[in-house]
């Protein structure tokens, strides 16, 4: 076959690229249409073909999902509602007994977690942006007993209040909750955006991870309990806005995913008393494109992330996969992405991230949370006004 002349080859290549782009666009458009109709979607992965199906729809900006012992789900909605969702996807009425929430900007009702003794007590804890004074707000954590028969919370008590409250920001509340193996509760706290400098000091709750007992008391082995001028609940500091948290299934250590600025999202292994650097070190830049501070990415005495993303993927929920249903995923960490509507799968060797696989490319929906279900599938929340619970599984597990 005779080769085309250079100019003709360029023209043919341009036509081919345009056609491929149009096919990709139409595929993305078809996926969006199918997703809007609640139809199952298929996606490629290293483990095999994945099928993504919609379990429930009609949640307003859902933020967190927790599985109850019988497989039902407890789902928070950021405007200030907590709901039970059955295993079949039936959405219940709003649960009564919640406190007032500051549902502005990134604030509202945020995470929800079952207490370790939930099976006998019905205990649940939840985090939220608490209104303080006329215009102030800060992260708070409350615990209560869930009465499923009456769809209500009983015996509610606030066990933690972030200090100080701020009046000039409705952002960066952090707010993931996770119980450690010893029954203590980790709470991730954002630096509220305008309080970034205070993430480096120990006399406040901005940009910290704190560790509490479920009654709100302070564990005696917290790292700063005996440090003058430091808040005794602090476990680690130098964080920006951690919105994912999970306990590593082998080591029992806390890992978190946190938002960077323009780039520099991080996955961190959180160890007691350590400084994670924000805003002194970061792999990101200001939203203006300028350097953050001196533009440092490392400094003595400050921890490096286990993994970071440039450009940012807007990290949210975090989960470790421990089930046998999809053997190729066992031991992986999954990080939800708000920006690209993707799910990042990170392969680990010990505490080292050795590979990343991007799943659900082309879905184009804000993924707020990711959880492993009792059946071994992954469940996702979409952060939308008509939000959904999605189930991700192998086409033929």
Q: Mind telling me the catalytic residues?
A: 172
Closest to 322 in 3D by CA, of 378, 391, 360, 275? 378
Q: Is 18 helix (H, G, I), strand (E, B) or coil?
A: helix
Closest to 305 in 3D by CA, of 375, 244, 234, 379? 244
| Strand (E) or helix (H) holding 144 | strand 136-147
CB 379 within 8 A of CB 65: yes
CB 376 within 8 A of CB 321: no
CB 268 within 8 A of CB 275: no
Q: Which residues make beta-bridge pairs with 236?
A: 209
Q: Is 36 helix (H, G, I), strand (E, B) or coil?
A: helix
Q: Provide the edge-to-edge strand list for the sheet that holds 50-59.
A: 41-43, 50-59, 387-394, 378-382, 367-372
Tokens representing 10 are 């360029």
Closest to 323 in 3D by CA, of 252, 253, 393? 393
Closest to 239 in 3D by CA, of 266, 212, 215? 266
Distance from C-alpha of 316 to C-alpha of 339, rounded to nearest angstrom: 10
Tokens representing 267 are 């996955």
Distance from C-alpha of 232 to C-alpha of 223, rounded to nearest angstrom: 8
CB 131 within 8 A of CB 102: yes
- The residues near 314 (Cβ < 8 Å, ≥ 6 apart) are 259, 265, 337, 338, 339, 340
- The residues near 125 (Cβ < 8 Å, ≥ 6 apart) are 112, 113, 115, 141, 142, 143, 144, 159, 177, 185, 214
| Strand (E) or helix (H) holding 159 | strand 152-161
Burial of 81 (C-beta count, 10 Å sphere; 0-12/13-18/19+): buried
């Amino acid at each position: 076959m005779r080769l085309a002349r250079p100019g003709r080859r360029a023209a043919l290549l341009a036509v081919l690229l345009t056609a491929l782009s149009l096919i990709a666009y139409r595929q993305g458009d078809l996926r969006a249409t199918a997703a809007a109709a609640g139809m199952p979607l298929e996606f490629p992965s290293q483990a095999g073909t994945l099928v993504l199906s919609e379990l429930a729809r009609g949640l307003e900006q859902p933020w967190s999902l927790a599985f109850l012992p019988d497989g039902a789900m407890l789902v928070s909605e950021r405007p200030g509602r907590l709901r039970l969702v059955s295993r079949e996807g039936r959405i219940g009425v709003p649960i009564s007994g919640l406190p007032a929430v500051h549902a502005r900007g990134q604030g509202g009702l945020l995470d929800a977690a079952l207490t370790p003794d939930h099976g006998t007590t019905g205990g649940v804890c939840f985090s939220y942006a608490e209104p303080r004074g006329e215009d102030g707000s800060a992260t708070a954590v409350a615990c209560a007993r869930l009465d499923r028969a009456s769809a209500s919370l009983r015996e509610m008590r606030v066990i933690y209040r972030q200090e100080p409250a701020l009046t000039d920001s409705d952002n960066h509340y952090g707010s993931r909750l996770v119980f450690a193996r010893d029954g203590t509760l980790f709470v991730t706290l954002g630096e509220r955006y305008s309080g970034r400098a205070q993430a480096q000091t120990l006399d406040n709750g901005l940009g910290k991870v704190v560790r509490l007992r479920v009654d709100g008391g302070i564990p005696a082995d917290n790292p700063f309990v005996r440090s003058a001028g430091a808040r005794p609940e602090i476990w680690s500091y130098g964080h920006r806005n951690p919105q994912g948290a999970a306990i590593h299934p082998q080591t029992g250590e806390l890992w978190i995913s946190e938002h960077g600025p323009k780039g520099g999202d991080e996955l961190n292994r959180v160890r007691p008393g350590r400084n994670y650097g924000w805003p002194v070190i970061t792999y990101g830049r200001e939203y203006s494109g300028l350097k953050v501070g001196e533009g440092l990415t490392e400094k003595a005495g400050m921890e490096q992330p286990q993994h970071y993303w440039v450009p940012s993927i807007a990290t949210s929920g975090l989960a470790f996969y421990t089930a046998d249903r999809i053997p190729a995923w066992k031991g992986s960490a999954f990080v939800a992405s708000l920006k690209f509507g993707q799910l990042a799968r990170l392969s680990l060797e010990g505490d080292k991230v050795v590979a990343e696989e991007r799943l659900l490319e082309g879905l184009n929906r804000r993924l707020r949370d990711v959880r492993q279900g009792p059946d071994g599938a992954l469940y996702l929340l979409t952060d939308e006004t008509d939000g959904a619970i999605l189930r991700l599984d192998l086409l033929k597990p």
